Every structure is written in C-alpha cells, then in structure tokens.
Amino acid sequence: MWRAFWTAAAMCAILVGFLTWANAQATFLFVHPKAPGVRIEIDRATGQAVVVSKRKEIDDRRAAAQRRAAEARQGTSKLPKVQADKLEYDFGIMDPLTTGKHQFVLKNVGVGPLDLAVGPTTCKCTVSGLDKREVAPGEQAIVTLEWNTGKAPEYSHAATIYTSDPDRKSVDVRVSGKVRMQLGADIPEIVLADIHPNESAVAECFLYSQVGDQVEVQKVDSNLAGLKWELASVQPEVAPQLYARAVTRLRVTLPGGSISGRFADTLRIVAKVAGQDERATLELPIQGNVLGRYTVYGGDIADGAVELGSVPLGRGKKTKLVIKVRDDDPTLDNVRIETHPSLLRARFEPRQEGTSRGLYDLHLELPADTAPCQYLGTPQGEVVITTDHPRLCTIRFPVRFAVIQRQE
C-alpha cells in the first residue's frame, strides 16, 4: 500500500516539475490592433513586446556575426566588407511639406556575402527601398531614402542600415537641406526696448514668401492692449538675402501709455500666399520694456529698495537719492512725504534751476538716537511721496535697516 502511495506521489512531483518548466519556456503571442498581420511576442527575459520578424532578423544577424568571428579566429573565414562612397547628401532647397527621395550605394568589397537589414530612421524619414538583403562580393545594394520636408527652415533626416561586416556593424545615411518658406519673417522676434511711457514705440520687419508671388496678410492677433499694425508691399529686391518671391513690410505701433513695465507676447499672423490652398500662419514673438514714470537712483539702492543695512546703535546713517520723473510735465507740486516707521526723516527738494528738469533730491536720515530695531525683512520701512501730478500721484519704495547693539 505504501509503495503505491509513494509511487503516485513521485509521479505527481514529476508532472508538476514538467509543467513548471514548460511554463518558463512558453512564448506569449498577441496581435496589436495597429499592426494587423504582424506577429508580436512577449520576450520572457525582458517582458517587452517584440516584433517577431524583426527579432528573428536581429538574432540571425547576430548568429551570422558570431559564426564569422569564430571562423576568423580559426583562419577559415571569408568576411564581407561594406563600403559607401557617400553617406550624406545635401538636397538643396525644397518646397514645404513635400516628399524627397535619394539613393545611396553600399558596396561589398570583401570576400564573403554581406547581409543588410533596415534599422531605425528619424520621425519623418523612411527607407522606402533596399533592393538587396544579401550582397555578394563585388556587388552593391541600393538604399532609397524618402522623407517629408515639413515646414521648418531646415531639415535633416537619417536612417541606419545594419550590416554583417564585423568591423562596421551599421551604416548611417543622411540627407539635409533647406525648406522654402511659405511665410516667414526676416527677424526672429520684435524687440521694443526702453520705451518712454508717453511715447509710441514703432518697429518694422519684412514678411516674405519663397513659394508664392504675393502675400496677403489677413490678420495679426495680439494680446497687447492698443497694438496697431499696417502693411506696405515692397519689391523683393529690397531684401535679396531672403531669396523671396514676395515681400511685405509689417509695421507695428504700441501707443504711449497703453502698457507699462516689461511685456512679452506673440503676434499670430495669418496670410494667404498666392498659389497655396491653405492659409499660412506665422508666430512672431514680441517683447519690450516701458520705462516707469519715475526712477529712484542712489548708491544704497538695491532691487528697488533703499538698503541702509545694520547700523550700530548711536551712529545713525544718512543717504541721498535722486528721483527722475519721465513725463511731458515733469513738475511735482504740493509734495507730501510719509515715512514708516516715523523715526525715519525725509527731505524732498527739486534740483537747482539750470539743471535738467524732472530731477529731485530726496534726503533720508536714520537718527543717531534711534533705539535698537529691525526693519530688514518683515516688517520693513517705507517712504511714500504723494503729489498733485495727474499721472504720478504716488511714489513709494521700501527702506530696509536695523539698529543693533554694539558689541563690547
């Protein structure tokens, strides 16, 4: 009885072991909905999906390379050798969104058969033809590269061809060139720097097309308040460096007082180019800086604040600042000054007659008898100047300081 029991147990253990081994050797296959007819398997070592045909091609090539390497060690090999007279080709200028095609020649100058396989390509490039997968000694294979130019001003596309040459496992072929601009600008961005707050800022640029004989700008959108634009057709000879068939001058105007401080936006330009079915679009960055209606200058100014620093108890500190007013009327009348804390003393006075208008001196004093205190961060001091000026009612800026006990 016990003999029968142990015999049955042994047979069950053998069966379980066999099933475990079979599961480890199993290959899981599936069909991807975007790749019908292509067999895909899950690699049991990595867990990744692998195209079977591609995997087999790689494994066969690796095995062939290992075989030839072994033959080389034994001195019995007949190795292939790949040679390419030209691996890069400048296609020159092409129209946007068009397809280009070029052929490269790979020769086998070795004494053994050369195996070739298509490798990866850049996103807009494909190897549309490889007329031979195996190249006999003395023969050659034609690699046909096909690509789409896109809309960028320049293009560069490449493809990799795997080989069985043990000294050159892959060959990279590349094409490059320029794209005719459907709609472009002669500058990368419009910059309006240091604009006076009361004056309009004007900038110009050329819009051009290397494809059509006429450019009709239909719309220029911007988020900048008050921005205006106007166009004027000019002859292409005005800007020969653009190699354009049609050129239009774009002038943008930012009225004075419409915006303040630093700004940045993008002009969205829509145009109809002659001979093109779809409207062309161009995004042209624009940035600038509108100067403030006043600026405070001084040796103790840092990051827009007056920095008096840490002042030893009983010493006090004085500083003089200059305020420059930028306005059609730079006169400040009926000036009132408030300081926080009130222990700060301030005196405001215009520059003497004969000097530049719109310049004022502001004297600040931290008295020597100020008790220990801290206004370096939170809280911090402040000077507020109010006037009867219609556009410059208030001038305010922080003052940072601390009065510290002297170290004995």
**Domain residue spans of the chain:** 82-179, 184-290, 294-404
Can you give the pLDDT at residue 46?
Answer: 41
- pLDDT tens digits, 290-342: 888 888 989 899 888 999 999 999 999 999 999 999 888 888 889 999 999 99
User: How many other CB atoms are found less than 10 A from the CB of residue 299?
Assistant: 9
Q: What pTM did the predictor assign?
A: 0.54
Task: Determine how β-strand 190-195 pairs with β-strand 280-290.
Answer: parallel
* Residues in the chain, pLDDT under 70: 1-10, 12-62, 64-77, 123-125, 127-128, 151, 353-356, 407-408
Predicted pLDDT at 56: 59
User: How far is it, in rounded angstroms, from Cα 245 to Cα 163?
Assistant: 46
The CATH class of the 82-179 domain is mainly beta
Per-residue confidence (pLDDT) for residue 120, from 0 to 100: 82
Tell me if 82-179 shares its fold with 294-404.
yes
- Parallel/antiparallel/unpaired status of strands 381-386 and 336-340: antiparallel
CATH architecture of the domain with residue range 294-404: Sandwich (2.60)
CATH no., domain 184-290: 2.60.40.10
pLDDT of residue 310: 93
What pLDDT, in 10s, does the model give residues 57-69? 656 666 766 666 6
β-sheet with 82-83: strand ranges across:
82-83, 99-108, 140-148, 125-130
Please write down the HEC assignment for all residues of the chain: CHHHHHHHHHHHHHHHHHHHHHHHHCCEEECCCCCCCCCEEECCCCCCEEEHHHHHHHHHHHHHHHHHHHHHHHCCCCCCCEECCCCEEEEEEECCCCEEEEEEEEEECCCCCEEEEEEEECCCEEEEEECCCEECCCCEEEEEEEEECCCCCEEEEEEEEEEEECCEEEEEEEEEEEECCCCEECCCCEEEEEECCCCCEEEEEEEEECCCCCEEEEEEECCCCCCEEEEEEECHHHCHHHCCCEEEEEEEEECCCCCCEEEEEEEEEEEEECCCCCCEEEEEEEEEEECCCEEEECCCEECCEEEEEEEECCCCEEEEEEEEECCCCCCCCCCEEEEECCCCEEEEEECCCCCCCCEEEEEEEECCCCCCEEEECCCEEEEEEECCCCCCCEEEEEEEEEEECCCC
Strand partners, 234: 247
**Cβ atoms of residues 138 and 108 within 8 Å:** yes
Q: What is the pLDDT of residue 268?
A: 95
Give me the pLDDT at residue 199, please: 86
Structure tokens, 45:
């070592």
